[in-house]
Amino acid sequence: MTSGEFEGWSTLDKRTLPVTALTMTGAAVGAAIPITAAIVGGGGRLWVALAWVVAGGVVLVGGGVLAELFYWKGVRYRVTPDRLETAFTLVFRSRKSLQRERIRNVDLTANPLHRLFGVAVVTIGTGSQEPGGQGRIKLNPVSRAEAERLRADLLRRAEIAETDEDAPLAELDRSWIRYAPMSFLSPALGLAAGGGLMQVSEWAGLQKGLIDWVIGLFRGIPLVVAILILLAIAMVVGVVGALGLWVEMWWNYRLDREAGGTLRVRRGLFTTRSISIEEARLRGVDLVEPLGNRISGAARVDAIATGTRQNDDQDKTDYHTLLPAAPVATANRIAAAVLREPVSPTEAVRLAGHPRAARGRLLRWWIGSVVVLLAIFAILGFLLTGVLLVIGAALGVVLLPVSVLLALDAYRNLGHGITGRYLVGRHGTVRRSTFALERDGVIGWTVKQSIFQRRKGLLTVVATTAAGTGAYSVYDAGEEQGLLFAEESVPDLLTPFLERA
């Protein structure tokens, strides 16, 4: 591409260079601490360790800034009446474009350094899950004003500025933070913190001393009690971590309906996010109640929409959550407002229960899972140490009755129904989901029946749709019950394949 060909094209913001320099400096400092500790702990001298980490830091920061300079000089982008195009023209050349009519998402993200320098990352996508990110373009970074301009232009929302800032659909209630620890994230964070401490102590050559200190601390205390105390400490650490993570993710939360027909979620304390969902692409909502939240009377609201980005391994941002865990009444109210319904479909219909055979099936699955786990502890206990037998026995006393309770709860939660233009289904116990899906959004039905379901006269009907996860299931319904539900929900779609007695 010659210089004349760049006419009308824009470059990324040059402030990406100091942002990269500071980011790489932070990474270098973070890596230097364990490396220095490992060298000194292994008998090396402090000045040798410092020489290595300083030299490595200079190479890391310098290399990162040079690579970013290379990228900045090579990238150009432009918006035409029909397309968004990007080009890279340094050493090698590549072009990428998205048709504007296919663009479904324009999301803005800014971490603390981006906010400090007044820039943001703009991610534009079609919502399709194409390999290699072919359906997505990321401009990293542009100025904050340019990011907002691109969003308004690409979503064809000239009237976005007319948003009624005084009337959001929902905004943060700080009391919702009480639901943050009520999830499996708390113990996971606590155990991760313990694992991290052990890893750092190994780098510093202090792991054996740390283990000896812990053993000495609990000397004279029964092993089971010591384990319970350590788990309680990990739980406290996990709760603190869950609270901090919730504040970072949901502080300044606000859900708006913009005049152009777009739902916009803005949130984040240090890293701010702005996520847009076109109402024309909305096909329903999913009321999600993890067990801890359900016990405390809370639920979150997820959008079921076509063209919504799904998370991948590199991107952990949640692109479909409209409301964090909040009181169930609030969640239903927001779901109704989002769908422009007087009452949310998730509470407007009395769900039909499923046959008793489904209860037996769930009991066998949950109890069988616990029995398998206990069998593993028993085998390892006989082969390795009797301590595992004690732990297995304690787990059996706790988990067997819990598994029965969870199975019975899962059976109570099974249900389906039809209200207005929505079909509704519910399932789950550890994570209960109540989805309301537009009947017009169903493009097909899949009927599944395992050999065990066939023996009990049960089946699972799956509504196929272009929105959300692409499939929404009604589990373990009676054979006639499930087929009639599918036929009633979308008349004539399944009828040609039914044989009536």
Residue-wise DSSP of 206-241: -HHHHHHHHHHHTTTS-HHHHHHHHHHHHHHHHHHH
Q: Place 215 in a pLDDT band, splitting at 50, 70 and 90.
A: confident
Pairwise CA distance, residues 283 & 289, whole Å = 20
Pairwise CA distance, residues 325 & 62, whole Å = 43
Cis peptide before 141 (omega within 30 of 0): yes
Q: Place 12 in a pLDDT band, splitting at 50, 70 and 90.
A: very high
Q: What does the mean pLDDT of the chain come to?
A: 87
What is the average per-residue pLDDT within 436-455? 94
Q: Place 223 in a pLDDT band, splitting at 50, 70 and 90.
A: confident
Pairwise CA distance, residues 395 & 390, whole Å = 9
Pairwise CA distance, residues 392 & 452, whole Å = 29
What is the average per-residue pLDDT within 61-85? 91
* For residue 230, pLDDT beyond 70: yes
Q: Which residue in 333, 329, 349 sits closest to 341, CA to CA?
A: 333
Residues 260-305: tens digit of each pLDDT:
788 999 999 999 999 988 888 899 999 999 999 999 999 999 999 9
Q: Which class would CATH give 10-155?
A: mainly beta
- Residue-wise DSSP of 367-433: HHHHHHHHHHHHHHHHHT-HHHHHHHHHHHHHHHHHHHHHHHHHHHH-EEEEETTEEEEEE-SSEEE
Residues 92-127: tens digit of each pLDDT:
888 898 998 888 888 999 999 999 999 999 999 886
What pairs with residue 121 in β-bridges?
109
Pairwise CA distance, residues 154 & 104, whole Å = 9
Residues 134-156: tens digit of each pLDDT:
778 999 999 999 999 999 888 87
In 52-205 the beta strands, taken as DSSP E runs, fall at 75-79, 83-90, 92-99, 105-110, 119-125, 136-143, 170-171
Pairwise CA distance, residues 337 & 420, whole Å = 16
Pairwise CA distance, residues 88 & 67, whole Å = 14
The confidence score (pLDDT) of residue 314 equals 45
What pairs with residue 422 in β-bridges?
419, 438
234 in Cβ contact with 191 (< 8 Å): yes
Per-domain residue ranges for the chain?
Answer: 10-155, 174-235, 356-412
The confidence score (pLDDT) of residue 309 equals 58
Return the structure tokens found at 438: 């537009």
Q: Place 388 in a pLDDT band, splitting at 50, 70 and 90.
A: confident
Q: Place 133 in a pLDDT band, splitting at 50, 70 and 90.
A: low
The confidence score (pLDDT) of residue 391 equals 85
Pairwise CA distance, residues 462 & 450, whole Å = 14
Q: What DSSP character marks residue 443?
A: E
253 contacts: CB under 8 Å, gap ≥ 6: 170, 171, 172, 265, 266, 267, 324
- Residue-wise DSSP of 267-304: E-SSSEEEEEEEGGGEEEEEEEEEHHHHHTTEEEEEEE
9 contacts: CB under 8 Å, gap ≥ 6: 76, 77, 78, 87
88 in Cβ contact with 70 (< 8 Å): no
How many CB atoms are located within 10 Å of the residue 123 CB?
19
The confidence score (pLDDT) of residue 438 equals 96
Pairwise CA distance, residues 448 & 446, whole Å = 6
Name the one residue in this structure whose structure tokens are 């395992």: 450
500 vs 341, higher pLDDT: 341
What is the average per-residue pLDDT within 156-183? 75
Q: Place 161 in a pLDDT band, splitting at 50, 70 and 90.
A: very low
